[in-house]
Amino acid sequence: MNMVEKILARKSGQKSVAPGDVVVTDIDLMVMHDLSANFVMKVFDNEMEGASIADPAKLVFAFDHNFAPATREAAEALAAVRRFAARHGIRNLFDSGCGSIHHVIMEAGLVTPGMIVIGCDSHTPIYGALGAFATGVGNNSMAALGFAHGKGWFKVPETIQIHFHGTPMKGVGPRDISQFLVGHLGEDGAIYEALEYAGPYIQSLDVNDRSLFPLQAIDVGGKCGFVNPDEKTVRYVRELLGNSAAAARLELFQNDADARYAHIIDIDVSRIEPQVACPPTVGNVKPIDAAVGTPIDVAEAGGSTGGRLSDIRTLARCLTNRRVHPGVRLQVVAASRGIYLAALKEGLFEILHTAGANIFPPSAGSNQAFNMGALAEDEVMISTQARNFPGRNGHPKARHFLASALTVAASALTGRITDPRTLEDL
Amino acid sequence: MSQTIAEKILAAKSGEARVTPGQIVDAYPDLVMSHTATWRSVSVMKKIGANTLYDRDRLAIVLDHISPAKTEKYAADQQTSRNFAREYGIEKFYDVDAGIAHLVLMEHGHVKPGDLIVGTDSHCTIYGALGALGSGIGYTEVASVWVTGKLWMKVPTTIRLTLEGGFAPGVSAKDLMLHLIGRLGADGCGYKSVEFYGPALRAMSISERMTMANLAMEMGAKCVFIPPDEKTLEWLLPRLKDAASYKPVSADRDARYEQSIGIDLSSLTPMVACPHQVENTKPVTEVLGTRIDQAFLGSCANGKYEDLAIAAAILKGRRIDPRVRLIVTPGSKEIMLEAMRSGVLATLMESGALVTNPGCGACAGDGGMMADGEVSLSTANRNFIGRMGSNKSSIYLSSPATLAASVLQGVIADPRELYRGASQ
């Protein structure tokens, strides 16, 4: 068995499971952001009279789309979730300004290897980077099974192993490679399959960089994504948990040597150039040449795929003693309070602010344009965000390109989509 | 002879030797400020068929109220303003990252003593902190001034306010103004110029003076003057492109005032404006214990560096009450940078605050909206019904010190308790 199969077997009380089996399991953690918490809460309140929450300690709400509600309706929705949480004894409520949901939850040490995590956010598979089985579910499933019973049912997925080897060329980072994979497999390239990210390249990455891969599993239709947990996983989790009892109990579910795969895909990362996902979808991924020269109005480093400390460091390195192009509004959004404070204390924000960037509160940033990120009809944005669908950021004709923090930085400097390899000192 | 500051400036800007209160003059403003409403003036200009400006260098545009855009509509409106600035070569154009128009224009040296400045914002009175005549006008009038260069104005009568004594610890310029607004009423200085004098004034920082000139609008003032002194010179000179343009205007000794009011600052206590009028002021001691859900530290009244630093000094090493959401919005890019460098920003974040990008923020309904029944304590200058969200929410206004003391307890609190503690 592989990691996913072992977790599903353990949590459903069976010795072993195989792809295609349907299992009912306990759920360890249920995560929702402000938008989905509100939807699930309404289903629970309106459609499930008399139900009670099986285990409120397993629920987590993190308000990330609204860092400061821009409308009365948004304010009412947040207030309703706060009241729901108080009424049901849900203690894990991270209010507006906490950051981007998954980074907040990881930073709080709420996810440990071997857990089953479900969330009403399609990027929930990110926790596969910590050796957990994590997947997105609908609002109704969350309310009816998760809230009421603390359980979920799953069909055990087939697993594809993506084996990455080689050393990336200068100017190419994990975002380029994870994005390349999306384009390579296609948006329906791994429907209801588990993706295992493996090989020397993945092993060389830290947990934060690894997390980009399972985070994007959904973009190829995957059920979940994971990295077989290793000593880096353990170190990452132990650092967060300190000397707690949970830290002492850590149990890894590692692949057996004879784990079976539906197929194995081999990728040589040394051949991958900087990648951009062009409008109108995340799967429209191209080598950067296809977009180079496109004038931009807005650049953003932020969101679950780009507000990490490493992204902000990349940006600060590129913008030290430089100015953002006068035609560009550069937005920087840390993915958590911890990242914000670290960037502030390292002096990164001072560098970026002085270069002309606008620093926003920890949040999901321009994702779906709740507090920021609305574009006019003919405006163009390049960002590290996870999604670029038409109308997601203002006018349906506005265009949104997705790229690495380095490509965003290079483009913010020149005012056009720029191959970071062409700029000196980057 | 025998002229007030407003009379002298209006005479100079309309080419008259002297003017008298009640007289209508055609004045030529030195600067026309327009903020997020700029697109409205652009469409008025189109509507009247005009396509030339009287003097493009007199225009200043700052996109501050909704920054950045939350909707497609705002994005399109901001693009209209941006394109207008580009097309007409407006050099004093500041985009959504700059901060609040008033603070940005003063910081960039676009406001000098003796200037006449009009703009699409009622709190233009703030320019009086540097000795300029600032007054709010509508966006239609702005379009007209863009094209013709002039605006008709009625010369106001003037009230003279003399400040003596000094503030007790925990009491500040905001409390003085809330006291005055409560005492004189929302129309107590309706269409009048207000000149501040007195020994206490010299001790006041430029930041405090800005708070005063800003809030005088809430007692109806047409314009406000805090006569420039060494502090004004010291603050402003490095910001001016041309030092020779610094020419303070002062009132004549025998200038005629409609009324003279004296205030002893040492007699003042922390004040709070209660829902839903700024003039509904009470000493903080009368509302102690009022529950708050949200607190907002920001605005052109109290989103300056000193205001943030006062709050940070109180919050340092402490956590805000978990029932309260504290939103901090630095007034401008310069203010945010200073707060980054001094550690004030980190202190606020560590106490549990949410620090936003610079701008008007929640004061103008840009983020930080409130739900039915919620209560906000804000350092802004207005608390009207529905200004920060639901018509069933309520807003109290206070100084930064009162706000900081209150977020620690989750209820409105008296900051003097903390200062007493500190001095022991």
Q: Which residues of A touch B96 (CB under 8 A)?
A: 329, 358
Report the CATH number at residue A125.
Answer: 3.30.499.10
Asked if the Cβ–Cβ distance from A341 to B71 is below 8 Å, we say no
Number of domains in chain A: 3
Query: A305: closest CA among A410, A399, A408?
Result: A408
Query: Would you state the pLDDT for residue A426?
Result: 65
| Dist CA B268 CA B168 (whole Å) | 8
Query: Domain residues for A225?
Result: 156-246+260-272
Hey, are the CB atoms on A69 and B72 less than 8 Å from each other? no
The CA–CA distances, whole Å, from A333 to A349, A358, B30, B351 equal 10, 9, 38, 20
3-state secondary structure of B11: helix
Tell me the C-alpha distance between B91 and B83, whole Å: 13
Per-residue pLDDT reduced to its tens digit, A111-159: 999 999 999 999 999 999 999 999 999 999 999 999 999 999 999 999 9
pLDDT digits (tens, 9 = 90+) for A333-353: 999 999 999 999 999 999 999
Residue A225's Cβ-count burial label (10 Å; 0-12, 13-18, 19+) is: buried
CB atoms within 10 A of CB B291: 11
Smallest Cβ–Cβ distance between B95 and the set A68, A329, A344 belongs to: A329
Q: Tally the C-alpha atoms within 13 A of residue B3's C-alpha that lie toward its C-beta.
A: 17
d(CA A424, CA A380): 25
The residues near B230 (Cβ < 8 Å, ≥ 6 apart) are none
Give me the DSSP letters along B35-71. Answer: -TTHHHHHHHHHHTT----S-GGGEEEE--SS-S-SS
Confidence of residue B88 (pLDDT cuts 50, 70, 90): very high
How confident is residue A248, by pLDDT bands cut at 50, 70 and 90?
confident
* DSSP, residue by residue, A236-261: HHHHHHTT-HHHHT----PPPTT---
Pairwise CA distance, residues A95 & B387, whole Å: 22
- Among residues A206, A198, A205, which one has the least CA distance to residue A239? A206
Please report the number of interchain residue pairs, chain A to chain B, with beta-carbon separation below 8 angstroms: 122
DSSP code per residue over A52-71: --S-GGGEEEE--S-SS-SS
Chain A residue numbers touching B346 (CB-CB < 8 A):
341, 344-345
Domain boundaries, chain B: 5-240+253-264, 271-423
Asked if A352 has any chain B CB less than 8 Å from its own CB, the reply is no
CB contact under 8 A, A376 and B68: no
Over residues B184-206, the mean pLDDT reads 97
- Whether residue A102 is preceded by a cis peptide bond, meaning omega within 30 degrees of 0, is no
At B122, is the pLDDT very low, low, confident or very high (cuts 50, 70, 90)? very high
* A1 belongs to a structural domain: no
Substitution target from A72, A95, A337, A341 for chain B, most B beta carbons within 10 A: A72
Residues A100 and A226 in one domain: no
Q: Is residue A253 part of a domain?
A: no
Amino acid making up residue B297 = L
Look-up of token digits 């002039």: B150
Q: Is the pLDDT of residue B24 over 70?
A: yes
Q: Report the first-to-last Cα separation within chain B, whole angstroms.
A: 53
| Spatial distance between the Cα atoms of A164 and B104, rounded to a whole number of angstroms | 51
C-alpha A298, offset from chain centre: 21
CB-CB neighbors (< 8 A) of A344 in chain B: 340, 345-346, 349
Up-side HSE of residue A426: CA atoms within 13 Å toward CB? 25
By the 8 A CB rule, do B369 and B382 touch?
Answer: no
Interior angle at CA A199, CA A195 and CA A203, nearest 5: 100
In a domain, residue A10? The reply is no
Kindly report which listed range (A421-425, B8-12, B109-113, B301-305) carries the lowest average pLDDT score: A421-425
Q: What values do phi and psi take at A194, rounded to 5?
A: -90, 140
CA distance B294 to chain A (A): 11
CA dihedral B308, B314, B315, B319 (to 10 degrees): -150
Crossing angle for the helix pair B206-215 and B305-315, nearest 10 degrees?
A: 110
Is residue B346 pLDDT above 60, yes or no?
yes
A105 and A34 in a common domain? yes
pLDDT digits (tens, 9 = 90+) for A9-38: 999 999 999 999 999 999 999 999 999 999
- Please determine whether the domains at B5-240+253-264 and B271-423 fall in the same fold group of CATH: yes
3-class secondary structure for A304-316? Answer: CCCCCHHHHHHHH
User: A301 and A242, same structural domain?
Assistant: no
Our CA angle for A312, A314, A316, nearest 5°, is 70
**What does the pLDDT look like over A225-244, one tens digit per residue?**
999 999 999 999 999 998 88
pLDDT bin (cut points 50, 70, 90) of residue B422 is low
Q: Assign A82 a pLDDT band (cuts: 50, 70, 90).
A: very high
Which residue is associated with the tokens 């060389």? Answer: A204
Q: Are residues A331 and A351 in the same domain?
A: yes
- For residues A189 and A217, the answer to whether their CB atoms sit within 8 Å is no
Closest alpha carbon to B321 in B256, B390, B245, B405: B405
Structure tokens at A18: 């195989």
Q: Which residues of B touch A95 (CB under 8 A)?
A: 325
* Residue A224 identity: C
Q: Which long-range contacts (CB under 8 A, 24 or more apart) does A309-312 make?
A: A309/A208, A309/A334, A309/A339, A309/A342, A309/A343, A310/A208, A310/A209, A310/A405, A311/A384, A311/A405, A312/A339, A312/A343, A312/A348, A312/A349, A312/A352, A312/A405
- Residue B121's nearest CA partner among B104, B142, B92 is B142
Is A331 an 8 Å CB contact of chain B?
Answer: yes
**pLDDT value at residue B16:** 97
pLDDT at B423 over 50: no
Residues A121 and A199 in one domain: no
What is the sign, positive or negative, of the torsion defined by CA atoms of B218, B219, B221, B223?
negative
Could you give the C-alpha distances from B387 to A121, B277, B363, B369, in angstroms and in order?
33, 11, 8, 9
- A306-336 pLDDT, tens digit per residue, is 999 999 999 999 999 999 999 999 999 999 9
For A258, residues 6+ apart whose C-beta sits below 8 A from its C-beta are none
Query: Are residues A118 and A61 part of one domain?
Result: yes
pLDDT at residue B358 tops 70: yes
Interface test with B, best of A82, A296, A358 (most B CBs within 10 A): A358
Shared domain for A312 and A267, answered yes or no, is no
| Joined tokens for residue A394 | 């203002």
- Same domain? A289 vs A360: yes
At B364 the pLDDT is 85
**Token pair in block for residue A59:** 């629920």
Which residues in chain A touch residue B351, judged by CB atoms under 8 angstroms apart? none
Backbone angles phi, psi at B326, to 5 degrees: -105, 120
- Find out whether the peptide bond into B400 is cis, omega within 30 degrees of 0: no
Q: Do A163 and A103 fall within a single domain?
A: no
Q: Which residue of B354, B369, B374 is in closest CB contact with A97?
A: B354
Q: In terms of C-beta density within 10 A (0-12 exposed, 13-18 middle, 19 or more buried), how is residue B409 classed?
A: middle
Q: Rounded to the nearest 5 degrees, what angle is found at the Cα of A391, between the Cα atoms of A385 and A395?
A: 110
User: What percent of chain A has a predicted confidence (pLDDT) above 90?
Assistant: 96
Beta-carbon separation of B368 and A68 below 8 A? yes
Same domain as A284, residue A266: no
Specify whether the CB–CB gap between A361 and A277 falls below 8 A: no
Show the beta-strand stretches assigned E in A202-352: 224-226, 263-268, 275-277, 285-287, 298-301, 329-333
Task: Give the end of a domain, one of A104, A124, A154.
Answer: A154
Q: With beta carbons less than 8 A apart as the criterion, state whether B378 and B276 touch.
A: no
- In this structure, the answer to whether residues A407 and A329 fall within a common structural domain is yes
Which of B298, B294, B383, B362 is closest to B332 using CA atoms?
Answer: B298
Phi-psi region of B365 (alpha: psi -120 to 50; beta: other; left: phi over 0): left
Mean local confidence (pLDDT), A358-368? 96
Mean pLDDT estimate for chain A: 96
Residues of chain B in contact with residue A376, where contact means CB-CB under 8 angstroms, are 69, 72, 75-76, 78-79
| ipTM given for this complex | 0.95
In this predicted structure, what is the pLDDT of residue A151? 97
Angstrom distance (rounded) from CA A385 to CA A402:
6
* Yes or no: domain B5-240+253-264 corresponds to CATH 3.30.499.10: yes
Question: Is residue B424's pLDDT more than 80?
Answer: no
Instruction: Assess whether A265 and A285 both reside in one domain.
Output: no
**pLDDT value of residue B421:** 57
What CATH class is the domain B271-423? alpha beta
Closest in A76, A329, A357 to B96, CB measured: A329
Tell me the backbone φ, ψ of residue B2, rounded to 5 degrees. 50, 45
**Is the CB of residue B335 less than 8 Å from the CB of residue B103?**
yes
Closest CA to A4 of A160, A149, A150: A160
Of A154, A188, A219, the one marking the end of a domain is A154
Exposed/middle/buried for residue A42 (C-beta within 10 Å: 0-12, 13-18, 19+): middle
Chain B partners within 8 Å of A359 (Cβ): 336, 357
